[in-house]
């Protein structure tokens, strides 16, 4: 049984990030995959302290919900990572989550397949370029496979991406393909 984990980096429930993540997960479910979703803003995931205690213990000194999310990451072959663009970058919730990857053994990342999805309010895809570039470098560094990116520029209001059937279809299709190709 293939497992796919959706990570929503927006604090806005029913917002564009969650809609896109849901669409990708629904595509995966159509192929029989088991999908789970976490809403970072509703979890206690504190920022990295930079203490590097984890480099000796493989464990974070902060005992919070990141342990539970890391377990779900480990159990899933595919991760759908969604963050809105906040000031040309990811949301603070998403960045805190990403920074905490430092305590997870490198072997837990190798070969994981990623679909990245990023809505932004501005009309140009270029608002997402630093975030896509940064995450690409992280994925390469950790030996992960960046399978697809679903961008949705020009959607500022809550749920506005619902009015863009072409993007929703692309998202659902990516979710289907990512499972079928394993
Ligand atoms: C603090 C903040 C900063 C933002 N900065 C940008 C930005 O730099 N570029 C952009 O295109 N949109 C920006 N936006 C708009 C969001 O990316 C857009 O509304 C997106 O659809 C939000 O996704 P959500 O519905 O999942 O929360 C910003 C929104 C917030 C709240």
Residues 75, 81: Cα–Cα separation, whole Å: 15
What CATH number is given to the structural domain containing 176?
3.40.50.360
d(CA 138, CA 154): 26
pLDDT at 180: 87
| Residue ranges for the chain with pLDDT beneath 50 | none
CA 120 to ligand 1 center in whole angstroms? 5
Whether 57 is covered by a domain: the verdict is no
How much is the pTM? 0.98
Range of the domain at 130: 18-39+66-180
Separation of 105 CA from ligand 1 center, angstroms? Answer: 32
Residue pLDDT, tens place only, 32-63 = 999 999 999 999 999 999 999 999 999 999 99
> E strands along the chain, which residues?
3-8, 34-39, 78-82, 113-120, 145-153
Which atom of ligand 1 lies nearest, measured to the CA of 88? 8
Pairing between β-strand 113-120 and β-strand 3-8 as defined by DSSP bridges: unpaired
Strand partners, 113: 78, 145
Q: What is the pLDDT of residue 1?
A: 86
What domain count does the chain have? Answer: 1
Q: State residue 181's pLDDT score.
A: 75
Residue 12 lies in a domain: no
Give a yes or no: residue 47 inside a domain. Answer: no
């Amino acid at each position: 049984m293939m497992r796919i984990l959706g990570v929503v980096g927006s604090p806005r429930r029913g917002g564009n990030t969650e809609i896109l993540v849901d669409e990708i997960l629904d595509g995966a479910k159509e192929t029989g995959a088991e999908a789970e979703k976490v809403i970072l803003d509703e979890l206690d995931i504190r920022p990295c302290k930079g203490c590097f205690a984890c480099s000796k213990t493989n464990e974070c000194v902060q005992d919070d919900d990141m342990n539970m999310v890391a377990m779900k990451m480990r159990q899933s072959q595919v991760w759908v990572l969604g963050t809105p663009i906040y000031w040309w970058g990811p949301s603070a919730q998403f960045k805190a989550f990403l920074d905490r990857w430092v305590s997870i053994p490198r072997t837990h990342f190798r070969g994981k397949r990623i679909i990245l999805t990023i809505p932004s309010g501005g009309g140009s895809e270029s608002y997402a370029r630093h975030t896509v570039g940064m995450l690409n470098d992280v994925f390469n560094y950790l030996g992960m496979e960046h399978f697809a990116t679903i961008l949705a520029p020009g959607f500022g209001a809550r749920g506005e991406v619902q009015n863009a059937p072409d993007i929703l279809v692309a998202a659902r299709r990516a979710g289907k393909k990512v499972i079928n190709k394993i």
